[in-house]
Amino acid sequence: MKNISFTPLGDGAIVIDFGEGIGLEKNELILEWQYAIEANPFPGFIEAVPAYTTLTIFYDPVSVGTDFPYETVKNALQNLPIKNQQTARKAKIVEIPVCYEEPFALDLAFVAEQNGLTKHEVIQLHSDNVYHVYFLGFAPGFPFLGGMNEKLSTPRRSSPRLKIPGGAVGIAGGQTGIYPLTSPGGWQIIGRTPLQLFDVNTNPPTLILPGDQIRFVPISKEDYAAWEEKS
């Protein structure tokens, strides 16, 4: 329990804080806690939501069944069997096909110019790495990834777009991500994937889960069209 703290969030959630700093080891610990809670749910448990340095546990205080639900939940969490719980879900490597060509690469030229690179170099640097999925957020199925080459770091757009298509691959600061659904957004768009990242009719509804790894695979416009025809 060293460097781990518990804080109430309203009357139906508790935040487990694992301390400052972002890294793979901390993310693995957070996910181990998530899997342990899901494998050993307490009365009233609803959901465990991981982030970079925290894990938020949502619960129904009435279903907890005691006069002091927060203390009851906190005690249950402090007595969880944490070790080796990550084996409950085996992480996978997901290959994401991406077309980095027009009309999908809305900001590829800007990212290249901003960093003194050619478009080809941006594509190569972006697709060479394997990215770790820390958590999902912002929109259903939106993966927050670690591992982008620092040479690609680019500020967000000064004026966000009102409509970013689902599947758009973007860069914001030192991060890269994929918009799973059409939504507003301010990330610099460098390509698009034909894959559907979120489908409410599947279980789980997200193609990518925390703890997974991603590799971007460049494809042509013709390949993109073929992917769409198959889906």
Final residue belonging to a domain, choices 64, 88, 112: 88
Q: Which residues of 105-138 are buried (b: 16+ CB within 10 A; e: fewer)?
A: bbbbebbbebbebebeebbebbeebebbbbbbbe
Q: Are 55 and 18 in contact (CB under 8 A)?
A: yes
Final residue belonging to a domain, choices 43, 61, 88: 88
Helical H segments across 51-198, by residue range: 61-64, 69-78, 108-114, 119-128
What's the domain range around 48? 5-88
Q: How far apart are CA 170 and CA 160, in angstroms?
A: 12
103 preceded by a cis bond (ω within 30 of 0): yes
Q: How far apart are CA 158 and CA 79, in angstroms?
A: 47
Per-residue confidence (pLDDT) for residue 228, from 0 to 100: 85
Q: Which pair of tokens denotes residue 92?
A: 């996978």
Q: Is there a single domain that holds both residue 64 and residue 175?
A: no
Q: How many domains does the chain have?
A: 2
CATH number, domain of 116, equals 2.40.100.10
Note the pLDDT tens digit of each residue in 51-97. 999 999 999 999 999 899 999 999 999 988 876 554 456 779 999 99
Q: Is there a single domain that holds both residue 97 and residue 211?
A: yes
Q: Is there a single domain that holds both residue 202 and residue 108?
A: yes
Q: Is there a single domain that holds both residue 226 and residue 150?
A: yes
Mean pLDDT by 10 residues, the chain (231 residues): 87 95 92 92 96 97 93 92 61 94 97 98 97 92 94 96 96 96 96 94 90 97 90 68
Q: How far apart are CA 185 and CA 26, in angstroms?
A: 28
Q: Is there a single domain that holds both residue 24 and residue 102?
A: no
Per-residue confidence (pLDDT) for residue 1, from 0 to 100: 56
Per-residue confidence (pLDDT) for residue 80, from 0 to 100: 85
Per-residue confidence (pLDDT) for residue 140, from 0 to 100: 87
Per-residue confidence (pLDDT) for residue 82, from 0 to 100: 76
Q: Is there a single domain that holds both residue 97 and residue 210?
A: yes
Exposed / middle / buried, residue 43 (Cβ in 10 Å: 0-12, 13-18, 19+) = middle
Q: Is there a single domain that holds both residue 129 and residue 179?
A: yes
Q: Is there a single domain that holds both residue 167 and residue 204?
A: yes
Question: H/E/C letters for each residue in 21-54?
Answer: CCCHHHHHHHHHHHHHHHHCCCCCEEEEEECCCE
Q: Is there a single domain that holds both residue 73 and residue 117?
A: no
Per-residue confidence (pLDDT) for residue 98, from 0 to 100: 98
Q: Is there a single domain that holds both residue 56 and residue 163?
A: no
Q: Is there a single domain that holds both residue 158 and residue 218?
A: yes
